[in-house]
Amino acid sequence: MSRRGLLATSTVVLAAPAIAQRGWPDRPVTLLVPYAAGGSNDVVARLLAPKLQAALGQSFVVENRTGAGGSIGMAAVARGASDGTLFLISSASNHVMYPIVAPGTVPDPREAFSGVSMLVDVPLALTVANRLGVNDLRGLLALLKREPGKHSFASSGVGGSQHLAGELFKMTAGVDIDHVPYRGGGPALNDLVAGQVSMAFLNLPTALPQGEAGTVRILAVAGEKRSALKPDIPTVAESGVPGFAVRSWTAAFAPRATAPEIVARFNAALREILGDAGVKARLAELGTEAEPSAPDELDRFVRAEFDLWTPVIRAAKVTAQ
C-alpha cells in the first residue's frame, strides 16, 4: 500500500449517545499551533476555527506557542487536558522530522498523540535556477552526475521538509549536492532566482509565481501524484527518480488519553468542513489541497513517516543546530 493510500477516505461511525452524555464540547476548544502566526499551519487553523464553531456549537480559538522546532507547543498538548478542549495542529516538520533530528525534546509523537484527521497537503516543487540551462529532471540529473559536488540545494532551514526532501533526493537519485539552509522559503527562493544556488524543493505556492514569470524553472512536484493545483507538472518519480515521494502535510492530533468518541466527533466535523466546496476553493487559493482521513489511518501514516525519515536523517547525519 502506498503512503498516500494509508490515508484513503473511510466512513466514521459516531457513538452519538456517549458523546451526548459527555456534552462535548461544553467549553471553548483550543487549536494549538506550534509555530508563529502567519505560517501554513496557522492559516489552516484559523480557516477551520469558525467553521468548527458553527458545526459544533462551541467557540474555537487558535493559540500559537512557538520554539524549539515546534517541540514546545507539542509538549504543551502532550501534557495538556484530554477532555476535548485541546488539539494540536501539527506538520511533517515538527511532528516527525524534528523529533528524529533532536530526540528527547518532546515525548514520542507516536505515543503521546492520537490522530484526529489529516487536514491538508502543501505540494513541494523541485525548482531550479535558470543558469543551469536544464528543461526537465532528466537534464538536471545528467548535469548533477556530470558535475558532482559543484551544485547546491537551498531549503527553509535544517531538519524541515524542504531540507529532508533534498537529502532523500540525493540518496534516491545518487547525486552529490550540498545543502544551503536559509531562514525561510522566501530567502531561499531569492537566491535561487539570483543563481546563487542550483535547486530547491520549495512549497509550490511559493515557487509558482516565479516559475510562471520565467525567473526559475519548476521541473517536478515531490508527491506520489501530480498536484491538483498544477496538474501539468509531472512528479519526480515519473520524471526519472522512481520511488521518490515526499509529502508536506498538516494534520490535527489530540492528547493520547482523549476519549475515542471525542476524537470521532471532531474527525466527523473536520471531514464535513474539508469536503465543502467553498473551503476546498479557499484552500486551493492558499496553495494547499484538502486531504481528510480517519483517525487510525493518520496514526498509521505517522508511523510510516517515521520509518521513512529515520534512516534518511541518520544517513545524512542531520542534527539540531
pLDDT digits (tens, 9 = 90+) for 258-280: 999 999 999 999 999 999 999 99
Q: Where in 85-139 does DSSP place strands (E)?
A: 86-91, 113-121, 124-129
Mean pLDDT of 44-50: 96
At 170, the pLDDT band (50, 70, 90 cuts) reads very high
3-state secondary structure of 290: strand
Q: How far is CA 143 from the centre of its chain?
A: 30
Return the closest-CA partner of residue 33 out of 91, 83, 78, 85. Answer: 91
For the chain, the structural domain boundaries read 4-122+248-316, 124-239
CATH of 4-122+248-316, one of 3.40.50.300, 3.40.50.180, 2.60.300.12, 3.40.190.150: 3.40.190.150
The backbone torsions φ and ψ at residue 31, rounded to the nearest 5 degrees and listed phi first, read: -100, 105
What is the rounded CA–CA span in Å between residue 73 and residue 63?
Answer: 9
CB within 8 Å of 213: residues ≥ 6 apart? none
At 228, the pLDDT band (50, 70, 90 cuts) reads confident
At 129, the pLDDT band (50, 70, 90 cuts) reads very high
3-state secondary structure of 29: strand
What is the rounded CA–CA span in Å between residue 52 and residue 252?
Answer: 13
Give the tens place of pLDDT for each residue, 229-242: 899 999 999 999 99
- 20 grid coordinates: 451526548
Mean pLDDT of 5-25: 45
What percent helix, strand, coil does the chain show, rounded to 5?
45, 20, 35
At 321, the pLDDT band (50, 70, 90 cuts) reads low
pLDDT given at position 14 = 39
**Among residues of the chain, what percentage have pLDDT more than 70?**
93
At 24, the pLDDT band (50, 70, 90 cuts) reads confident
Are both 4-122+248-316 and 124-239 of the same fold? yes
What is the rounded CA–CA span in Å between residue 168 and residue 312?
Answer: 6
- 298 grid coordinates: 493518520
Give the tens place of pLDDT for each residue, 196-225: 999 999 988 889 899 999 999 999 999 999
pLDDT given at position 1 = 44
pLDDT given at position 153 = 98
CATH of 124-239, one of 2.60.40.1930, 3.30.1330.60, 3.40.190.10, 3.40.50.2000: 3.40.190.10
CB within 8 Å of 81: residues ≥ 6 apart? 255
At 21, the pLDDT band (50, 70, 90 cuts) reads very low
Read off the pTM. 0.83
